[in-house]
């Protein structure tokens, strides 16, 4: 016997079938977008021979090449009032205990480095591993207590592991903040377990600037990091040169890659002077940005210079790490490094 559905039940079945059909159609129509490579940030300082910042430059004054290929750039000039997050990364292992008496003025100098802008400072000590002494804070007393609570460590100087740790800490800071690591260490890494390539990848994918103040005696200098020229540049070349430089002088190579500065100190007074110099640099940088024309994954070498030949020094980020484009269902392109 044929059975008939009630009119209400029939309408319910019809609507259910229609919903399933529409859902399937919409699923077929959802676009698959390939996210573009991240926006690359290139902090850049231009100074005279006397160390005075050069102001009033425009994007047209700069030439930026990515693996030898010139890029279309944008320029931010008003970075002096930008909030800042700083990790003070202090080696306490190996012979670092000999340097402790030179750190008496460090809290005041770090406060000067932060300047009059909004700031958050964290303190980390390290020997064979990093340990946080003070999480991010704006309290000057807490920062001073963190710095003065450092204790002699073991026989390690795991610079790379500790930089990795500090970059991770800065990752969760407010997105509008500058991200800075102030590294006080000897020149060479001793005891890190993180693969060097992975540390370089993490640094290259971040927008962290590292300033290094080295106390170890010696005259080691970082190997020259010259970007390859031309469209067919071997992407392994920048990575291999960076690894060689890090092996020779870790404290010098990492700042070079990030656009920071590498300085030495022999006394507490000289350390204070070096940090005062860095304070002038941090708040007078240009911020160059660009969308890479070449999205090949891996380490890319950057070169920044002025279009006109002037007797100045240009200090800029020397590399970044491009990642594979991500396939995203119905999403906008991925955001940049910030």
Same domain, 114 and 41: no
Report the SS3 class of residue 169.
helix
Task: Quote the pLDDT of residue 333.
Answer: 37
Residues 71, 215: one domain? no
| Average confidence (pLDDT) over 188-216 | 94
E strand map for the chain: 32-34, 40-48, 62-66, 69-70, 73-76, 84-91, 119-126, 130-137, 178-185, 208-214, 262-264, 286-290, 298-306, 312-316, 319-322, 327-329
Average pLDDT over residues 173-198: 95
297: Cα within 13 Å, side-chain hemisphere? 5
Residues 301 and 261 grouped into a single domain: no
The predicted model scores a pTM of 0.81
Alpha-carbon distance 294 to 168, whole Å?
A: 27
Count of structural domains, the chain: 2
Q: Is the confidence at residue 118, as pLDDT, over 60?
A: yes
| pLDDT tens profile 23-80 | 444 444 443 333 344 789 999 999 998 888 898 999 999 999 999 999 999 998 666 6
Structural domain range at position 323: 34-77+285-329
Q: What is the mean pLDDT of residues 204-210?
A: 94
At 281, is the pLDDT very low, low, confident or very high (cuts 50, 70, 90)?
Answer: confident
pLDDT-based confidence at 115, cuts 50/70/90? Answer: confident
28 within some domain: no
pLDDT, tens digit, for every residue of 239-275? 888 899 999 999 999 999 999 999 999 999 999 999 9
Q: What is the pLDDT of residue 234?
A: 56
What pLDDT shows up at residue 217? 55
Do 165 and 313 lie in a common domain?
A: no
| Residue 308 and residue 201 in one domain | no
**Do 47 and 150 lie in a common domain?**
no
SS3 52: coil
Q: What CATH number is given to the structural domain containing 197?
A: 3.40.50.410
Q: Is residue 5 part of a domain?
A: no
Residue written as token pair 């920044």: 304
Are residues 168 and 313 located together in one domain of the fold? no
Please name which of 77, 83, 119 lies closest in space to residue 289, comparing C-alpha atoms: 77
Cβ neighbours of residue 325 under 8 Å, at least 6 residues apart? 34, 35, 36, 37, 295
């Amino acid at each position: 016997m044929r059975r008939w559905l009630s009119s209400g039940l029939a309408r319910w079945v019809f609507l259910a079938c229609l919903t399933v059909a529409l859902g399937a159609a919409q699923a077929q129509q959802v676009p698959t977008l390939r996210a573009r490579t991240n926006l690359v940030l290139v902090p850049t300082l231009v100074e005279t021979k006397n160390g005075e910042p050069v102001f009033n430059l425009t994007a047209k004054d700069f030439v930026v090449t990515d693996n030898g290929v010139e890029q279309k750039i944008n320029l931010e000039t008003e970075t002096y009032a930008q909030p800042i997050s700083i990790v003070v990364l202090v080696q306490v292992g190996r012979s670092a205990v000999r340097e402790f008496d030179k750190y008496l003025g460090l809290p005041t100098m770090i406060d000067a480095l932060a300047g009059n802008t909004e700031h958050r400072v964290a303190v980390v000590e390290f020997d064979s591993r990093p340990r946080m002494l003070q999480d991010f804070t704006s309290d000057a007393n807490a920062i001073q207590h963190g710095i003065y609570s450092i204790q002699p460590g073991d026989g390690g100087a795991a610079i790379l592991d500790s930089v990795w740790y500090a970059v991770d800490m800065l990752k969760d800071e407010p997105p509008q903040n500058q991200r800075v690591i102030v590294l006080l260490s000897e020149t060479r890494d001793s005891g890190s377990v993180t693969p060097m390539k992975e540390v370089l990848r993490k640094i290259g994918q971040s927008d962290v600037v590292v300033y290094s103040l080295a106390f170890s005696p010696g005259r080691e200098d970082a190997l020259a990091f010259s970007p390859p020229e031309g469209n067919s540049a071997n992407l392994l070349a920048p990575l291999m040169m960076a690894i060689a430089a890090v092996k020779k002088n870790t404290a010098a190579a990492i700042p070079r890659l990030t656009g920071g500065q590498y300085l030495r100190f022999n006394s507490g007074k000289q350390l204070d002077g070096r940090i005062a110099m860095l304070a002038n640099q941090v708040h007078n940088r240009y911020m160059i940005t660009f969308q890479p024309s070449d999205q090949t994954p891996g380490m890319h070498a950057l070169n920044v210079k002025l279009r006109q030949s002037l007797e100045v020094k240009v200090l800029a980020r020397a590399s970044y790490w491009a990642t594979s484009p991500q396939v995203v269902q119905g999403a906008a392109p991925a955001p940049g490094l910030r």
